[in-house]
Amino acid sequence: MKQAAKPAKFLYGCDDYDALDTVPKYLDQSKFAPYLGFPLCNVPSPGDSASDYAKYFMGEFLEVFDYLGIKPEVYYLRDLYRTGKLNNYIDKFLQNAHLVREVYKQVSKAERAENWYPFQVICENCGKIATTAVTDYNGSEVFYRCQPDGTDWVQGCGHSGWVSPFDGNGKLPWKVEWVAKWDLLGVTIELAGKDHSQKGGSRDVANGICRKVLQKQPPFHSPYEFILVNGTKMSSSKGVGSSAKEIAALLPAEQLRFLMLRTQPKTAINFAPNYETITRLFRDYDTLNSKYQDRPELSQDIMPLFYSQLESEIKTYQPFELSTIISLLQIPGLEIVQELDKRIGKPLSELDWQVLNQRISVAEKWLADYADEEEKLVIYWDAVPQQARSLTASQLTYLSKLAEKLSAATTWDAEDLQTTIFTTTKELEIKPNVAFPAIYLSFLGKERGPKAGGLLSYLEKEFAIARIKEVISNQIEYP
C-alpha cells in the first residue's frame, strides 16, 4: 500500500488456543509430551524469555518481523476469548449449529452428526482441548465429553459435564473461528495458502458460514503458494526445513524482503541456501540496483527492488559479488577487507562499506553453516590433485594454450581472465564443458567451481601458470 499511498492496517494473530499436537524433536519430550492436546497458551515455555509456549515461539516471529521492518498489530486468541469479545459469536454459532453443519455438508461434503456443535471445551479435569466434543447447548452451558479416542495422537480422560462456553472456557473450530475474527476485527482482505484455498476447502467453508450464519460477505481472498526451504515447508515445530529465524540470520533484511516480494503470490518460493541459489539472489539484487543507478526511474522490472526497501527511495551502492567474497574468504592468509578494497580500486562510500561488511558476514555464515564440502573452495596448494592426472588430449591442448595466454597477460583481473579463458576455447574450437573442468581439476580436484576467471584471479599469477604447466608435465610422467 506504500506505493498507492493508501492507509492500511496489518493484523497478525497468534492462534494460541489451538492444541499442542506435536513436540518438536529438539525439545525435552518427557517435559512437553504430557501437555499434548492442551491449548498452546497453557503449555510451559521452553525458555525464560516468555511466559508460555505460544509466546515463546511467537517471539521468534516477532523478532523476524522487527528485523524486516514489518509492524503488525498483534493479537492473541486467548485475549479475544478470555475477555469475552468472542462470546456473542460463540452463542450465535451454537444457536445456529444446524446451519454450520449444513455448510460443511454442502461445501466440503463433510457430514456432521445431528448432535455436533461447533465448539471445543477445555476439559475441566485434564486440561486438554483437542479431545473434547460438545453435543448439546441450552443457551448458557454446553454439554461435553473428553473422549478417550478423540484423536489418534492423544487420549482424553473421559470426563463429561455441563459448562459455560464463554470467557475462555473453550474455542470455536478454526474454520468457524476464522469467520468470527473477520467480523470482530473488521478484516477486509485475508489471503490464504493454497492448501486452504482448494475448491471445497477451508476458505470455501468459512465463506459459506459467513454468508449463511452471519449473512455477510467474507473478506477479499486470493490464494498464495508456500515458502519452501530445500523443497520443504518451513516448520521448526517438526524439525524440518528451516525456521524463519534461521533464514533471517543468514540473509540481510533487504535481500530477504527481495526474495519474497519479487515472486508473485501464486508462485512458490523455493529457497535452497546452496552456493548457486544464494549467490544468484545477491547477483539479481545487484543487477536491479545497478540498473536503477544508471536510469533512476521506477520501471516495472525495478519494482521488486523498490518493494524491498523500507523507505520510499532506493539507495544505490557499489555492487560486490558474493561469490567472490565466498572464494576469497577461503584463501589462506588473505586479509579480506584489504583484498576487496584493492580489487574495487576506487573510493567507497559509507553505504558501500556497510554493504561490503554485511556481505562478508553473510559469506562467513554461509561457509560455516550451509556450505557442503563439494561447494567449498579447497585449493591444492602443494601438489597436483590426483584427479587432474588423467586429462584428455583436448584438455591438455587447451591448458597448454591457456598457459601461453596467461603468461602474456598484462592484467590479472577476474573479468579479463574470464575473457581469456573463453577466447581460448573458441580459438581451439573446444567446448567450455570440456575446457573448464580441466581448470577446476588442476586447482580444486573437482570438475566444477566458481567462475573460472575469478578462481585464477584469487591466485598469484606465477603460481597459477606454474600449476597448469605442472599438470601438463604430470600427464606425461603419469600417462
**Closest-CA residue to 189 (of 224, 213, 147, 151):** 224
Tell me the CA distances in angstroms from 380 to 147, 273, 386, 457, 471, one per residue in order: 66, 26, 10, 15, 12
Helix (H) or strand (E) holding 116: none
Q: Is the pLDDT of residue 240 over 50?
A: no
Cβ atoms within 10 Å, residue 291: 14
Q: Is the pLDDT of residue 147 over 90?
A: yes
Dihedral angle sign, alpha carbons of residues 62, 68, 72, 77: negative
Domain ranges of the chain: 11-83, 228-375, 386-477
The mean pLDDT of the chain is 91
pLDDT, one tens digit per residue, over 335-386 is 999 989 888 888 999 999 999 999 999 999 999 999 987 778 889 999 999 9
| Total number of residues shown for the chain | 479
Kindly give, in sequence order, each residue whose CB lies less than 8 Å from that of residue 158, ignoring residues fewer than 6 positions away: 145, 146, 147, 148
d(CA 388, CA 303): 47
Question: Which grid cell sits at 99?
Answer: 446451519
**Closest-CA residue to 454 (of 421, 425, 428):** 421
Q: Is the pLDDT of residue 155 over 80?
A: yes
pLDDT, one tens digit per residue, over 126-144 is 999 999 999 999 999 999 9
The pLDDT value given to residue 417: 96
d(CA 268, CA 225): 5
Domain spanning 386-477, CATH class: mainly alpha
d(CA 42, CA 354): 44
Exposure b/e, 369-403, CB count within 10 A at least 16 = b: ebbeeebebebbeeebbebbeebeeebebbbebbb
The pLDDT value given to residue 311: 85
The pLDDT value given to residue 3: 62
The pLDDT value given to residue 193: 86
Domain 228-375 has CATH 1.10.10.770: yes
pTM, full prediction = 0.80
Pairing mode, strands 170-171 and 120-121: antiparallel
In this prediction, what percent of the chain has a pLDDT beyond 90? 73
Tell the residue number behind the cell numbers 475474527, with chain if given.
181
Do the first three CATH levels of 228-375 and 386-477 match, i.e. the same topology?
Answer: yes
| Weakest-pLDDT range from 241-250, 341-350, 358-367, 438-447 | 241-250
